[in-house]
Amino acid sequence: MSNGRAKHEFSEVAASVRTDQIKRTIPVGQLVAEHPLRACVLEQYGIDYCCGGKVTLEEACQKKGLEVNEVLDKLFAADQKQSKVNDLDWTKQSLKELIDHIVTTYHVPLRQELSRLAQLVEKVAQVHTARHPELTEVVNVFNHFREQLELHMQKEEIILFPAIAKMETTGEPSMFGCGGSIEHPIDVMIREHEDAGQALCSMRQLTHDYVPPDDACNTYKALLCSLAQLESEMHQHVHKENNILFPRVLTLRTAAQVRK
C-alpha cells in the first residue's frame, strides 16, 4: 500500500472516530454542556452555543460556511485537554449547587463589571466621539444592556432560582401567577438572554469586532478588551442557564407531574 493511500485511509478512520465521539447532529449547546472546553473552539469559529445552542453542529457550520470536519478536529483536541482538567460536571451536580455557581461566578462579578464599564464607556465616548461617532450608539446600547441585565438577574435571584431550589427539595412543581407553570418564567428568561445576545452583537459590530482604531488611547483599548471579555463571560453564563439549568428544571417538573 502506498504512503499516500495509507495516510488517506488513516485520515478517514480518524474522522470516523471523531464523528463517533462528537456527533455532528448534536446541538452545539449540548456539546459544550458535555465538555466545557469545547466553548473555546466554537467561539473561535463564531458559533453561538448559548442562545443558539439548539442548532446542531452541522447546521451551525453550514450557516457559517465552515468545513465541519475541521471544527470536529478542534473539538476532538479540546476533549483531550478536557480529560486533564479538574472541572465539575454541572449536568450532574444538584440544581442548588448549579444556581449557587451561576450567582457566585457570573451574577456577582457581572454587577461589578457593568458598573465599571458604564464609567469607562462614558469616558471614552467623551474623548473620542468626534472622530468615532459610533461610540454614541455604543453608549446607548451598553446602558440599555446594563439596565435590562441587572433587572434580569434580580428576577432570577428573587423569583426563579428560589422556586427551582424549592422544587428540587420538595419534588413538587412550582406554580407562578394564576396557576402558571415554571415554563413561563423560564421562557421569559430565555427571551431576555436573546435580547442580551443581540446587544452584545450590536456592540461587536459597532466597534468593528473590538479592534482598536489607530488613534485609540490606552483607555479606549482597555474598553474594547473589557467588552470582548464581557461577551465571552456572557456566553458561558447564558449557556449554563439555557443549556444545562433550564432543561434540567423542565425534566424535573415533568417527573413531578408524572408522579402526581
Residue 154 has, within 13 A of its CA and on its CB side, a CA count of 7
pLDDT of 23 over the 80 cut: no
| Residue (of 147, 136, 139, 137) closest to 119 by Cα position | 139
Average pLDDT, the chain: 86
Which grid coordinates are listed for 217?
488611547
125 to 117, 142, 148, 165, 223: CA distances (angstroms): 12, 12, 21, 43, 10
- State the pLDDT at residue 238: 96
pLDDT of 3 over the 60 cut: no
Percent pLDDT > 70 in the chain is 85
In the predicted model, what is the mean pLDDT of residues 15-29? 67
- State the pLDDT at residue 43: 83
Per-residue pLDDT of 143-181, as tens digits, reads 999 999 999 999 999 999 999 999 999 887 776 655 578
Question: Using the 8-state DSSP alphabet, how is residue 106 labeled?
Answer: I
| Cα four-point dihedral sign 225, 226, 227, 228 | positive
pLDDT of 2 over the 70 cut: no
Where exactly are the structural domains of the chain?
A: 3-82, 95-259
Per-residue pLDDT of 218-230, as tens digits, reads 999 999 999 998 9
Cα dihedral: 47, 52, 58, 64 (round 10):
-40
Beta strands in the chain (DSSP E): 175-176, 180-181
User: What top-level class would CATH report for the domain 3-82?
Assistant: mainly alpha
Is residue 57 within 8 A of residue 24, CB to CB? The reply is: yes
Per-residue pLDDT of 102-122, as tens digits, reads 999 999 999 999 999 999 999
In the predicted model, what is the mean pLDDT of residues 178-199? 90
Is residue 249 within 8 A of residue 182, CB to CB? The reply is: yes
Tell which wins on pLDDT, 176 or 240.
240
pTM above 0.85, yes or no: no
Q: How many residues does the chain have?
A: 260
pLDDT of 10 over the 80 cut: no
- State the pLDDT at residue 50: 83
Cα dihedral: 59, 64, 67, 70 (round 10):
-100
- State the pLDDT at residue 235: 93
